Copies of this chain bind each other. A is one copy, B any other.
Amino acid sequence: MLFGKVIGSVWATQKEEGMDNLKLMVVQPIDFKGREAGQPVIAVDRIGAGVGERVIVSRGSPARTLFSGRNVPIDAMIVGIVDSFDVEDDSGLEEE
Protein backbone atom coordinates (compact mmCIF):
# COMPACT_ATOMS: atom_id res chain seq x y z
CA MET A 1 0.00 0.00 0.00
CA LEU A 2 1.15 3.55 -0.42
CA PHE A 3 1.55 6.16 2.27
CA GLY A 4 0.08 9.55 1.47
CA LYS A 5 -1.51 12.75 2.66
CA VAL A 6 -5.07 13.74 1.80
CA ILE A 7 -4.85 17.06 -0.03
CA GLY A 8 -8.37 17.51 -1.37
CA SER A 9 -11.37 16.10 -3.11
CA VAL A 10 -12.90 15.81 -6.56
CA TRP A 11 -16.51 15.91 -7.77
CA ALA A 12 -17.97 14.32 -10.86
CA THR A 13 -21.63 14.43 -11.86
CA GLN A 14 -21.32 12.45 -15.03
CA LYS A 15 -19.93 9.07 -14.14
CA GLU A 16 -19.87 5.36 -14.88
CA GLU A 17 -22.13 2.76 -13.32
CA GLY A 18 -21.07 1.84 -9.83
CA MET A 19 -19.48 5.24 -9.13
CA ASP A 20 -22.51 6.70 -7.33
CA ASN A 21 -22.21 7.84 -3.76
CA LEU A 22 -18.46 7.44 -3.57
CA LYS A 23 -16.39 10.10 -1.82
CA LEU A 24 -13.34 10.75 -3.99
CA MET A 25 -10.30 12.15 -2.22
CA VAL A 26 -7.02 13.31 -3.67
CA VAL A 27 -4.03 11.70 -1.97
CA GLN A 28 -0.48 12.91 -2.45
CA PRO A 29 1.96 10.01 -1.95
CA ILE A 30 4.68 11.05 0.50
CA ASP A 31 7.70 9.40 2.03
CA PHE A 32 8.10 9.09 5.79
CA LYS A 33 9.88 12.42 5.93
CA GLY A 34 6.82 14.10 4.45
CA ARG A 35 8.34 14.70 1.02
CA GLU A 36 6.22 14.22 -2.09
CA ALA A 37 6.77 10.83 -3.69
CA GLY A 38 5.07 10.73 -7.07
CA GLN A 39 1.84 12.02 -8.57
CA PRO A 40 -1.45 12.44 -6.67
CA VAL A 41 -3.92 9.57 -6.75
CA ILE A 42 -7.73 9.78 -6.60
CA ALA A 43 -8.91 7.27 -4.00
CA VAL A 44 -12.30 6.31 -2.62
CA ASP A 45 -12.84 7.06 1.07
CA ARG A 46 -15.41 5.38 3.29
CA ILE A 47 -13.69 5.88 6.64
CA GLY A 48 -13.84 9.64 6.98
CA ALA A 49 -10.33 10.72 6.02
CA GLY A 50 -9.98 14.51 6.08
CA VAL A 51 -7.67 16.93 4.32
CA GLY A 52 -4.27 16.91 5.98
CA GLU A 53 -4.55 13.39 7.36
CA ARG A 54 -2.01 10.76 6.50
CA VAL A 55 -3.54 7.63 5.04
CA ILE A 56 -2.82 4.19 3.61
CA VAL A 57 -4.06 3.65 0.06
CA SER A 58 -4.53 0.25 -1.55
CA ARG A 59 -4.49 0.12 -5.33
CA GLY A 60 -5.57 -2.20 -8.10
CA SER A 61 -8.20 -4.88 -7.81
CA PRO A 62 -7.74 -5.26 -4.03
CA ALA A 63 -9.33 -1.82 -3.68
CA ARG A 64 -12.52 -3.27 -5.04
CA THR A 65 -12.90 -6.31 -2.85
CA LEU A 66 -15.00 -4.42 -0.35
CA PHE A 67 -17.76 -3.95 -2.88
CA SER A 68 -17.95 -7.60 -3.74
CA GLY A 69 -21.64 -7.64 -4.51
CA ARG A 70 -21.43 -4.65 -6.89
CA ASN A 71 -19.39 -3.76 -9.95
CA VAL A 72 -17.46 -0.73 -8.73
CA PRO A 73 -14.80 0.27 -11.26
CA ILE A 74 -12.30 1.81 -8.84
CA ASP A 75 -8.60 1.14 -8.56
CA ALA A 76 -7.64 2.97 -5.36
CA MET A 77 -9.11 3.08 -1.88
CA ILE A 78 -8.15 4.61 1.45
CA VAL A 79 -7.90 1.61 3.77
CA GLY A 80 -6.51 3.24 6.91
CA ILE A 81 -5.93 6.61 8.60
CA VAL A 82 -2.44 6.59 10.07
CA ASP A 83 -2.19 7.33 13.80
CA SER A 84 1.55 6.97 14.04
CA PHE A 85 4.56 5.39 12.45
CA ASP A 86 8.04 4.46 13.51
CA VAL A 87 10.47 4.41 10.63
CA GLU A 88 14.18 3.92 10.81
CA ASP A 89 16.48 5.65 8.46
CA ASP A 90 20.17 5.56 7.70
CA SER A 91 20.63 8.72 9.66
CA GLY A 92 18.87 7.38 12.77
CA LEU A 93 15.30 6.88 13.88
CA GLU A 94 12.34 9.08 13.08
CA GLU A 95 9.49 8.73 15.42
CA GLU A 96 6.13 10.31 15.73
The residues of A with any CB-CB pair to B shorter than 8 Å are: 1-3, 7-19, 24, 26, 29, 31-32, 37-43, 46-48, 51-52, 56, 58-66, 68, 71-89
Q: Decide: A3 and B40 in contact? CB cutoff 8 A.
A: yes
Q: Decide: A8 and B26 in contact? CB cutoff 8 A.
A: no
Q: How far is the CA of A9 from the CA of B1 in the complex (A)?
A: 12
Residue of B nearest to A43 (CB): B1
Query: A29-B39, A60-B60, A73-B58 given as contacts; is B2 within 8 A of A88 (CB)?
Result: no
Minimum CB–CB distance from A33 to chain B (whole Å) comes to 10
Residue of B nearest to A53 (CB): B14
Q: Decide: A77 and B16 in contact? CB cutoff 8 A.
A: yes
Chain B residue contacts of A19, Cβ below 8 A = 79-80
Minimum CB–CB distance from A61 to chain B (whole Å) comes to 5
Chain B residue contacts of A24, Cβ below 8 A = 1, 56, 80
